[in-house]
Amino acid sequence: METIKDIWFEQGRIFMKTDGGSVYSRPLEAFPILKEASDEARKQYTIGRFGDDVRWEALDEDIHISSFYDTTEPDYKNEIARIFKRFPQLNVSEVARSIGINKSLLAKYIYGIKKPSESRKLQIKEALHVLGQELITV
């Protein structure tokens, strides 16, 4: 099995080089915590002792080598992305909290890296509807 030898960032992507010389890359949208992190924070990582994972202690983020094998690219034309683009003042953390999911998961739905089930999509829309109703009463 390949092991991770190097990690670097450029042009909105994270790159990994393995001991076998293979280079893999993923869009930062696949790792929302890293996407939001500063360049300096991204440099503060350690490769696990077995060489199959990377840890950013200060960010509390871990990535396994298998995450680099996924080839999904962002799809900003999905329904959830369109909603959040239309209302940029929405706080992703608070919306995620209100429906009981992790902010990173909601961000992956917004970026189109992950596709929510129909029931999850309805749950997100309902949370936004409730927020809208609360705003009307202000």
Q: pLDDT (tens digit, 9 = 90+) per residue, 27-85?
A: 999 999 999 999 999 999 999 999 999 999 999 999 999 999 999 999 999 999 999 99
27 DSSP β-pair partners: 13
Chain-centre distance of CA 71, in angstroms?
A: 14
Six-digit token pair at 71?
């080839």
- Residue 130 backbone phi and psi in degrees, to 5: -60, -45
Cβ neighbours for 11, distance < 8 A, ≥ 6 positions apart = none
pLDDT in the model for residue 119: 96
Structure confidence at residue 1 as a pLDDT band (50, 70, 90): confident
3-state SS of 71-87? CCCCCCCCHHHHHHHHC
Q: pLDDT (tens digit, 9 = 90+) per residue, 75-109?
A: 999 999 999 999 999 999 999 999 999 999 999 99
Closest to 113 in 3D by CA, of 39, 34, 55: 34
Q: pLDDT (tens digit, 9 = 90+) per residue, 6-24?
A: 999 999 999 999 999 999 9
